[in-house]
Structure 1
Amino acid sequence: MTLLDPTTHEHPGRVEGARMAVDHPDLRDKVAVITGAGRGMGARFAAALARRGVRVLGADLDESLMGEAAAAIALEHDGLAGAGEVVGTGVDVRDRDAQQRVADLAVERFGRLDLWINNAGIFPEAPAADIPVSQIQATLAINVEGVLYGAQAAASAMAPGGSIVNMASVAAVRVRRGRAAYCSSKAAVAHLTECLAVEYGDLGIRVNAIAPGFVDTEMTRWVQDDPPALAKALDSIPLHRIGSPEEVVGPMLFLLSDSARYVTGHILAVDGGSRHV
């Protein structure tokens, strides 16, 4: 396994991540479901897995967007020997039955289900005193219930050896003003991951989570476009830079792969060390 140097500084505090040349040959020909795969990190995960021969069913609330993402990944991998197919479908992760249909579709289309990434989520903002009922209900329904229903669907179709990875956040252990609904939901995801790992271990299924910090995605654009906020954020990160999406891909591949076959119930922080500051 080799890693390319991901650091080329073209913007203060921002890193343009070179593609990580990480190869886990054990992933080839496996089948993965990724929720929230129409954009952002979900689309990155789908492309990275397909590039390594994984057959991917991407699911998103916006089915049209998911179809466009699948087509873009197919175009990107055109001519790449051994690349896996990416198929798109729609899903509302708040709907338990809909998530089960996604699992069933993966088995129907590809014959099995090995990997599941609970990536779908929202990032609401409001002062704690002003959080409306609709915001907290939607945040918990999507960010927490969506993870539970996804894990239930995955486990129903997986054989022993399956791997589930949830998207938590460094916000699970750090308070961010104006993000109480989001932070509390991600704390719930982290603990839910540990609970699922204990119970699904009986089935031979591993459950882990990734906890990103400041990563160059749509969710952190508000920080990067605000110089004072960016300076404050960089002061809270021991590596003093924003991470690149590719730097989340590598840890995700590790947790899904046999390299982590004795790792379960772990929350892997990918945050430049910010949780310690």
Structure 2
Amino acid sequence: MSSTTGLTNPGRTDPTPTAAHYPEMAGKVAVVTGAAQGMGAVFAAGLATRGVSVLAADINAEHVVETADRLNTELAEASTEDKPGQVIGVRADVTIAADHEELAERAVREFGRLDFWINNAGIFPYALAQDIAPDQIGATLRVNVEGVLYGAQAAARHMNPGGAIVNMSSVSATRVRKGRGAYCTSKAAVAHLTESLAVEFGDKGIRVNSIAPGYIDTEMTRWVQEDPAALAHALDVVPLHRLGSPEEVFGPLLFLLSDSARYVTGHSIAVDGGSRHV
């Protein structure tokens, strides 16, 4: 599936890399938050292509329903051997615990089970440290950290052993980005929360991992691509000297959800072109 952002990506030679196929995933059910656009939409499309039914959630109800309708149309028109899963778009505010519970209940009600939960929703505010206002740090922690916790809690209540939760952290969890103090703090919390959840949910037979993207070609990185100096810096600090695509994040996500990773929990996979080493 191609990226839904429509952005350019200097140096990218293959915007739609081939992801592995895991036959055991067909017929399973996933919840993806922040699924109206960007990586969330790509995740929903990629899973549905492989026979996973997806509850695509976003705070923008109109947009996520339109995305789900578009994906269902594309899946119906695609020529594939496997029967695609259905995508249902629903509104959810990830800062409200009850919204997560309703997502889990609806997944079970619509599809009869819940196997995967991807905590993808997040915000990316800017402010120098001395200017971070109470409302900014509060909103960032509510969306980026509480949203992950509430989603994982709801998932764990409704999943059977063998379920998998994947949280979206960031390379910013371990690297300082000037002007992104609130964001970096929230993603460091997500990385550590993932480890805590993995330890406790292991008793339920549920795996919890995270993915830490670097510069990925989405709406969240539009500011980089619109600033020549920022783009030049980004391409310089990434050893592969290009931005990543959402599809290149989907590959590791697919692995973490699959049976190939059934003994992998409490880990974070960096998808950053090597930038964490620079």
TM-score by length of 1: 0.94
Where does residue 6 of structure 1 map in the other structure?
A: none
Where does residue 133 of structure 2 map in the other structure?
A: 132
Where does residue 51 of structure 1 map in the other structure?
A: 49
For the 8 Å contact 1:31–1:55, the answer to whether it is kept is: yes
For structure 1, the 5+ residue unaligned runs are: 1-9
Structure 2 Cα separation of the partners of residues 204 and 64 of structure 1:
36
Q: Does 1:34 align with 2:32?
A: yes
Q: Does 1:78 align with 2:76?
A: yes
Q: CA deviation at 1:241?
A: 1.1
Matched to 2:83, the amino acid is G
Q: Number of aligned pairs?
A: 268
State the secondary structure of the residue aligned to 1:199: helix
Where does residue 93 of structure 1 map in the other structure?
A: 94
Structure 2 Cα separation of the partners of residues 39 and 146 of structure 1:
18
For the 8 Å contact 1:15–1:243, the answer to whether it is kept is: no
State the secondary structure of the residue aligned to 1:43: helix
Where does residue 104 of structure 2 map in the other structure?
A: 103
Structure 1 residues 113-262: aligned runs within 5 Å: 113-262=114-263
Structure 1 Cα separation of the partners of residues 88 and 19 of structure 2:
24
Structure 1 Cα separation of the partners of residues 16 and 10 of structure 2:
17
Structure 2 Cα separation of the partners of residues 140 and 105 of structure 1:
26
Structure 1 Cα separation of the partners of residues 240 and 63 of structure 2:
34
For structure 2, the 5+ residue unaligned runs are: 1-7
Q: CA deviation at 1:79?
A: 3.6
Matched to 1:26, the amino acid is E
Structure 1 Cα separation of the partners of residues 202 and 131 of structure 2:
40
State the secondary structure of the residue aligned to 1:78: helix
Structure 1 Cα separation of the partners of residues 10 and 77 of structure 2:
36
Structure 2 Cα separation of the partners of residues 231 and 62 of structure 1:
33
State the secondary structure of the residue aligned to 1:166: strand
Deviation sequence 1:4-46 (CA, Å, 0-9, x none): xxxxxx8634455124242111110000000111111101000
Q: CA deviation at 1:62?
A: 1.1
Deviation sequence 1:171-201 (CA, Å, 0-9, x none): 0011000000000000000000000000000
Bigger drift between 50-59 and 216-225 goes to 216-225
**CA-atom RMSD in angstroms:** 1.2
For the 8 Å contact 2:9–2:243, the answer to whether it is kept is: no
For the 8 Å contact 1:140–1:185, the answer to whether it is kept is: yes
Where does residue 276 of structure 2 map in the other structure?
A: 275
Report the CA distance shift for 1:254/1:11 in structure 2 as closer, same or farther (over 3 A): closer
Where does residue 267 of structure 2 map in the other structure?
A: 266
State the secondary structure of the residue aligned to 1:77: helix
For the 8 Å contact 1:117–1:165, the answer to whether it is kept is: yes
The runs of at least 4 aligned residues of structure 1 exceeding 6 Å deviation read: none
Q: CA deviation at 1:78?
A: 1.4
Bigger drift between 111-120 and 17-26 goes to 17-26
Q: CA deviation at 1:63?
A: 1.2
Structure 2 Cα separation of the partners of residues 90 and 41 of structure 1:
17
Matched to 1:95, the amino acid is I
